[in-house]
Amino acid sequence: MNQQSIIEQTVAHVKLTLSDAEGGHDWWHIHRVWKTAQHIATAEHADELVVALGALLHDIADSKFHNGDETVGPRKAREWLVSLGVDEPVILHVENIITHISFKGGNHQQAFKSKELDIVQDADRLDAIGAIGIARAFNYGGFKNRPLHDPGIQPNMNMSKEEYKSNKAPTINHFYEKLLLLKDRMNTETGRRLAMQRHVFMENYLKQFYGEWDAEF
């Protein structure tokens, strides 16, 4: 099977699999990550088939819905790619991308590294910032019934995770805890440049938000 039809069939498969996924991880998230990853891959001279398949299959099974089992995604991706007769080195690489994409950093040594993983991870992180990132954050906050903002609950207050959650941490706090940190976690030059634009947009958004919140005219 040629690359074009491998990708087309995978698109159809992912659309079907995610047909009732929640808003933050639906087909359109995959579509944006795929297109962004493709754009970065061209600039960074990466293996385009691996990047496309990694992006398309990266959220095929969310561990949150499988009792935290993080092996389901890579396994489902492998089964799918085997059924298409994709070459083993490509399958293994895609599997590794899916296993390692949500690596949180910290003290452990990351076990797998590749340019293609760097690219798909950058594309996934880019979808968490900028205009789309803002929309996804408030969508998530709405789903959890959280307040937009509460000037009495500052980000990173000395509370336990449980306390913080039960206090209904405002969605605005998520900007300081995660979204504004992502620009410094990009792997590729192209990703960093795109992240910088989206970062500036979020900073301007926050300025406007607080101005309206305090009814400053």
- Residue 165 C-alpha from the chain's centroid: 22
Of Ni ion, ligand ADP, none, which one sits near residue 73, judging by CB under 5 to 8 A according to partner kind?
A: none
Nearest to 129 by CA among 181, 169, 88: 181
- Between 140 and 205, name the residue whose CB sits nearer to ligand ADP: 140
Asked if 30 contacts 92 with a C-beta cutoff of 8 angstroms, the reply is: no
Task: Give SS3 for 93.
Answer: helix
Of ligand ADP, Ni ion, none, which one sits near residue 133, judging by CB under 5 to 8 A according to partner kind?
A: ligand ADP
> What amino acid is encoded at 159 in this protein?
M
C-alpha torsion sign, points 81, 187, 30, 49: negative
How far is residue 70's CA from residue 65's CA, in Å, rounded to a whole number? 10
Report the nearest approach of ligand ADP to the CB of residue 85 (Å).
30
Of ligand ADP, Ni ion, none, which one sits near residue 188, judging by CB under 5 to 8 A according to partner kind?
A: none
Report the nearest approach of Ni ion to the CB of residue 14 (Å).
12
- Between 40 and 128, name the residue whose CB sits nearer to ligand ADP: 128
Report the nearest approach of Ni ion to the CB of residue 211 (Å).
32
Binding site for ligand ADP (CB under 6 A): 24, 102, 124, 128, 133, 136-137, 140-141, 171, 174
- Between 125 and 170, name the residue whose CB sits nearer to Ni ion: 125
Binding site for Ni ion (CB under 5 A): 59, 124
Give me the DSSP letters along 11-42: HHHHHHHTTT--GGGSHHHHHHHHHHHHHHHH
Of Ni ion, ligand ADP, none, which one sits near residue 130, judging by CB under 5 to 8 A according to partner kind?
A: none
- Between 30 and 81, name the residue whose CB sits nearer to Ni ion: 30
Structure tokens at 48: 């385009």
H/E stretch holding 8 reads helix 3-17
- Between 14 and 137, name the residue whose CB sits nearer to ligand ADP: 137
